[in-house]
Structure 1
Amino acid sequence: MRRRGDDRPALLVVDDEPSIAEPLSDYLEGRGFAVSCAGDAAEARAMLAAETFDLAVIDIMMPGEDGLSLTRWVRATSELPVILLTARGEPMDRIIGLEMGADDYLPKPFEPRELLARIRTVLRRAEGGRSEGGSYAFAGFVLHAEERRLLDADGAEVPLTGGEFALLVALLDAAPRVVDRDRLLTATQGREAHAFDRSVDNQISRLRRKIEPDPRTPSIIKTHRGGGYALAAKAVRR
């Protein structure tokens, strides 16, 4: 929760296990964050509706409403960055979470230092999206980088997650050149790709559903042999 006069980044940790949430809260507080904890999705919803946070760390496996459902609600109601905690690193949980708009994921058990690094990367990416100037025009869309807003041909806003925004900017900056998956993963999640890491492909699919006339036969973002992607539409930076 962001308190008056407190300029620390505000985090919400959503986990039903006090043995995890409380030590994690203490650890993150000691690294310069203001941390609030919610024990379930209902409590998290109430806190998110009443207070302002910079990022949420959400455990997938919770009694009642699970973390995937909560993430879907967060993404439908805000642009709040989300990092998911996944039990045993189940690949399907990771894929579904990213498809629902999570910005990153971390399998349990995890090192607090790794979560700290992920939090800082996601926050830095979100802040970078707000601070970069200029805009891009492509395929009837206009991306305002400073405001992190994508507008369609009718002027309606197309909601983007932090990861989708970073992905689109990376493709726009490189257009019409091909950007390989390693570079895209570094741009969107601040880490190198692993051979079976499909998170970039999932983000591309989600972004295509938002901007392509027909996502099944994409004409704006093209897939290239060897694992790369390129913006096929003409892009103009203003």
Structure 2
Amino acid sequence: MSALVSILDDEPAIRSMLADALAEAGFRTMTFGRATEFEAALRRTVPDVCLVDLGLPDRDGLSLVHRLALEKGATVIIISGRAQVQDRVTGLELGADDYIIKPFDPAEVVARIRARLRTQARPQSHGDLARFNGWTAHFDRYALVDEQGAETPFSHAEGAVLRLFLESPKRLISRAHMQESLGGGAGESFDRAMDVRISRLRTKLREDPKNPRLIKTIYGAGYIFLGDVTWE
């Protein structure tokens, strides 16, 4: 069955344009003009990808993105007219997988969605539970658990970066390899997204931002994860 994409945007013309482009590309779609309708549908079906506009008439789009990323484990792509860098950073910090600025070419949206789905479809070389340095990462429920049993949720996007690190400990992971493995827009927007997600992971792992023990930045080259990892 083809992937299901939910489109949440209060502009009928944009909903129609995206639905037509996605249908032509072979996707199933559901469209919504209000967050309340969208959230009601989520109780019945969780789509493969959610396209979410931030300027909604009945709900703050950013809070909805945060909930989707943490509770549903859905791939979330923000589509917004807010082009300021801080808006993009905030959206990515709250767990969005990608951020597309209006006006856009529908073909770009289709390409970004396909890239995300290709990443998800790649066979995982390990299971859904990893232990490292007193932490347990549960990728089936998007949670980090410390030695005392306290849980910290992480988003779908943060989980993809964490899994990449845990599957290649003590090896340099370049930005180019991250882009190839994780998909998304290339260039400055991708680099910014990675910076945000790695910063969030360091915070959740209670790292000293000035001297992180686990996720080390190798300036001009990439990152190295220094933990000892076992998979179950």
TM-score range for the pair, normalised by the shorter chain length: 0.7 to 0.9
Which residue of 155, 162, 167 corresponds with 1:161? 155
Secondary structure class of the residue paired with 1:56: strand
In the superposition, relative to structure 1, how do residues 189 and 156 fare at CA in structure 2: closer, same or farther (>3 Å)? farther
Match of 2:52 in 1: 58
Which stretch shifts more, 16-25 or 153-162? 153-162
Pair 1:75 & 2:77 matched: no
Q: How big is each residue's C-alpha offset from its partner over 1:60-119, in whole Å with a ceiling of 9 and x where there is no partner?
A: 222342321211222342211100012163222211000000011111111111111111
Which stretch shifts more, 106-115 or 86-95? 86-95
Say how many residue pairs are matched.
230
Which residue of 188, 192, 195 corresponds with 1:194? 188
Match of 2:108 in 1: 114
How far did 1:161 drift? 2.6
Secondary structure class of the residue paired with 1:20: helix
In the superposition, relative to structure 1, how do residues 142 and 128 fare at CA in structure 2: closer, same or farther (>3 Å)? farther
In the superposition, relative to structure 1, how do residues 40 and 227 fare at CA in structure 2: closer, same or farther (>3 Å)? farther
Which one-letter code corresponds to 2:187 in the other structure?
A: A
Matches within 5 A, 1:112-151: 112-128=106-122, 131-134=124-127, 136-143=130-137, 147=140, 151=144
Secondary structure class of the residue paired with 1:230: strand
Match of 2:88 in 1: 94
Pair 1:84 & 2:78 matched: yes
Quick check: 1:149–1:157 contact (8 Å CA) kept in 2? no
Which residue of 184, 195, 201 corresponds with 1:207? 201
Which stretch shifts more, 14-23 or 183-192? 183-192
Structure 1 vs Structure 2 CA RMSD:
2.7
Quick check: 2:21–2:107 contact (8 Å CA) kept in 1? no
How far did 1:151 drift? 5.0
Match of 2:33 in 1: 39
Q: How big is each residue's C-alpha offset from its partner over 1:189-210, in whole Å with a ceiling of 9 and x where there is no partner?
A: 3443338941111010111222
Distance 2:12 2:82 in 1: 19
Q: How big is each residue's C-alpha offset from its partner over 1:149-204, in whole Å with a ceiling of 9 and x where there is no partner?
A: 55524566653333222212222233212323333233223443338941111010
Q: Tell me which of the two structures has the higher relative contact order, counting C-alpha pairs closer than 8 angstroms and 6 or more residues apart.
A: 2
Q: How big is each residue's C-alpha offset from its partner over 1:123-166, in whole Å with a ceiling of 9 and x where there is no partner?
A: 2323437x543454321234466x47555245666533332222
Distance 2:189 2:84 in 1: 16
For structure 1, which runs of at least 5 residues remain unmatched after alignment? Answer: 1-6
Quick check: 2:92–2:196 contact (8 Å CA) kept in 1? yes
TM-score normalised by L of structure 1: 0.82
Quick check: 2:54–2:61 contact (8 Å CA) kept in 1? yes
Q: How big is each residue's C-alpha offset from its partner over 1:2-21, in whole Å with a ceiling of 9 and x where there is no partner?
A: xxxxx221111000000110
In the superposition, relative to structure 1, how do residues 128 and 150 fare at CA in structure 2: closer, same or farther (>3 Å)? farther
Which residue of 3, 9, 15 corresponds with 1:9? 3
Which stretch shifts more, 49-58 or 11-20? 49-58
